[in-house]
Amino acid sequence: MKRFIFPVLCLLLIAACSVYLEAEILTVTIKEPIHPITAEIIVKSIEKASQEKAELVIIKLNTPGGLDSSMREIIEAIIGSPVPVVAYVSPAGARAASAGLFIAVACDIFAMAPGTSTGAAHPVSIGSSGQEQDKTMEEKVTQDAAAYIRTLAEKRGRNIQMAEDAVRKSLSYTEQEALKGKLIDLVAKDEQELIEALDGKEIKRFNGEAQVLNLKDQPLVELPLTFRQKILMAIANPNLAYILLMLGLLGLYFEFANPGAIFPGVIGGISLLLALLSFQILPVNYVGLLLILLGTVFFILEIKITSYGALAVGGAISLFLGSVILIKSPIPELRPSLKFIVPVVLGISLIFVLLVYLVIKAHRHRAMTGKEGLVGESGQALTPVSPDGKVFVHGSIWRAVSEDKIEKGDKVQVVEVQDHLTLKVKKV
């Protein structure tokens, strides 16, 4: 019996090793704008595929475009990848626009699902001053982008003219137009059809080497996002980043206005730090951020200075303008929506105005406690007050003085609270 145990264990070990060493097809889904976090996700996926000696990496793209720096970081990783990379525009209705087109053209295989589109890659310059400088800078950026996509298309054997027209003329193409023009390699309705079409296909890598894809019976593994990446992707949402900034400013205002409240300060501090973290990801216009801070200062000054609402109006205008220009991106998905900004600005402004109203009302209201709370109170003389005596005021017996002659039982009113809790009263 023992002589059979060792061969069986060896067979099990060999089977386990073969499963472990089995090549895989790794897939990663990108359905957000291209920014530092999506760049990190793709780069890490390619690194993982290289470490595990995967047979193929499929990037499922559905993006409106994004930041040039993040796009180039992704393309560098794709070009340098020892594992072939496929860009697959999916599902139906998806697009690979702007930076997404550059990334897809740079991949070893460019595939699209039915009902998808790609193109519209004309670069948009941001933050220049002067019309002449705008035109000059735009031309420089366009020339650079056109040259970049030409070299990518040429190295990958794709239609150079179609790729360049997508940059210079902002042209977009359906999957059939792109296939007919040889901008893409194939159209596949799903990943399984894509893998079957690529199995046994010889591809030419970026360095000129030929490689045959052996994809038959290879397991398809979706790479999930890490917890850190999920958090960063959530706060990279411009609408969430904007509301975190507003909550942070409100929380700190409440804490400074009511020292010791603790909860508003904690929530405000955390929200503000998360907003600052998201601003490290998004292309923030710091003039917009300063306008939002200036608007907050105007609301606070309204409490201290009687401006008859001028500071509050200025604060609301500053808050709105700062919110509109807060994120300097030509991609709408990377900016807070105007439909989101307007109600938030109105809500924040109303909260500040309400707080200002309550503070002013409290300042104008007569004090109800302490020495100041006793002034104006009515009571009754328990003894003659001439010039001093005892009175009953506010539920207590007090020593009182008066310039008037007050008899026992007369009604009195407190004029002043003197030292040693002596009340100065007058006859009512």
Contacts 24+ apart (CB under 8 A), 147-152: 148/102, 149/101, 149/102, 149/105, 149/121, 152/75, 152/102, 152/105, 152/106
Residue 30: beta bridge partners? 61
361 annotated active-site: no
Please state, in angstroms and rounded to a whole number, the distance separating the CA atoms of residues 28 and 14.
Answer: 30
140 annotated active-site: yes
Q: What is the 3-state secondary structure (H, E, C) of the chain?
A: CHHHHHHHHHHHHHHHHHHHCCCCEEEEEECCCECHHHHHHHHHHHHHHHHCCCCEEEEEECECCECHHHHHHHHHHHHCCCCCEEEEECCCCCEEECHHHHHHHHCCEEEECCCCEEECCCCCCCCCCCHHHHHHHHHHHHHHHHHHHHHHHHHHCCCHHHHHHHHHCCCEEEHHHHHHCCCCCEECCCHHHHHHHHCCCEEECCCCCEEECCCCCCCEEECCCCHHHHHHHHHCCHHHHHHHHHHHHHHHHHHHHCCCCCHHHHHHHHHHHHHHHHHHHCCECHHHHHHHHHHHHHHHHHHHCCCCCHHHHHHHHHHHHHHHCCECCCCHHHCCCHHHHHHHHHHHHHHHHHHHHHHHHHHHCCCCCHHHHHCCCEEEECCCECCEEEEEECCEEEEEECCCCECCCCEEEEEEEEHHHEEEEEEC
Name the amino acid, one letter, at 377: E
Residue 173: beta bridge partners? 118
Q: Exactly one of 98, 271, 323, 329 is catalytic; which is it?
A: 98
Q: Exactly one of 31, 140, 189, 216 is catalytic; which is it?
A: 140
Name the amino acid, one letter, at 42: I
Q: What is the Cβ-side half-sphere exposure of residue 272, based on CA atoms within 13 angstroms?
A: 15
> Are residues 335 and 329 in contact, defined by beta-carbon separation less than 8 angstroms?
yes
Burial of 24 (0-12, 13-18, 19+ CB in 10 A): middle
Catalytic machinery residues = 98, 140
